[in-house]
Amino acid sequence: MLTIEEVATRLKVPVETVDRWIRQGKIPMQRNRGRYTIRPAMLERWANDHKLEIGNPHPDPAEQSTGEQAFDGILPAMQRGGIYYDISCKDRESVLRAAVEVIPGIPASDKDRVLKSLIEREELASTGIGNGIALPHPRSNPGISLAMPQITTCFLNPDVDFQAVDARPVSTVMVLLSNSTKQHLAMLSKLSYFLRDASFRRCLQGKTDQAGIFNHIEAMESEG
C-alpha cells in the first residue's frame, strides 16, 4: 500500500495537493489505521484515467548508470533560477506568463512550450500549497535543455488568487524546472520539506531581500 507521501512522489506533486484531492474525493485513497493509503495498481489506473504521468518506484538499473548528477540542493537551484520582485499580474495565467518571461537559462523559443506545460499542470489542480505560496511545475519534462534543475522565485504585488488549498491569495510563486524526473522529484521533495518550516515561510512572506533568503536557505541546508 502507498502512503500520501509515496503517492505525491510517484505523481510528482506536493503532499498538500494529494491531501486536497483526498478531501475533495478526487483520488480513491482509503483511511486505514489513521493513515490514507492506496494500492499501487489502483493508483496506476487512476493516474491513467486522469492522464497523469506516474513515476517508476523501481528505476531500471540501466537508467541509474547514465552518469546523471544528483540534485545539488535548494540554494544552488534558487540561485540558478533567480529571485524577482514586484511582479504585477491580475490572474493566475498572467502570473505564469510573467514568470516564464523572467526565467533564465532557457531560450526564447522554448518559453511558449514551458508556459503551456505550466498552464496544463495548473488546470489539473492548483499548485497553490497554502500560506500564500505556489509551486508551479510541468506535469512532465517540457523538452527543454537544462544542465541542472532551477527554481525561479517571483514575489507578486498585488497578491493573486491561485485557487490555493487554503483559499489564501498567493504572494510567492516558485517555478520548478528540470529535464530530469529524478532531479525534479528530489527538488520538489526538499523544497516541500523546507516550506514546512515557519521561519522560512515568514522569510518568503516578508519578501526578504535576495541575500537574506539565500543566507536563510544556506543555514537550513547546513543543518541537514
* Contact indicator for 71, 190 with CB cutoff of 8 Å: yes
CA atoms within 13 A on the CB side of 37: 8
Active site residue 50: no
**Cα angle for residues 38, 129, 160 (degrees, 5° grid):** 145
- Alpha carbon of residue 183 to chain centroid: 12
CA distances to 70, 78, 180, 183 from 147, rounded to whole Å, are: 11, 14, 9, 11
Catalytic residue chosen out of the listed positions 50, 58, 137, 184: 137
Q: Which three cell numbers stand for residue 108?
A: 526564447
The amino acid present at 109, given as its one-letter code, is: S
Backbone angles phi, psi at 56, to 5 degrees: -85, 120
Annotated active-site positions, please?
A: 137
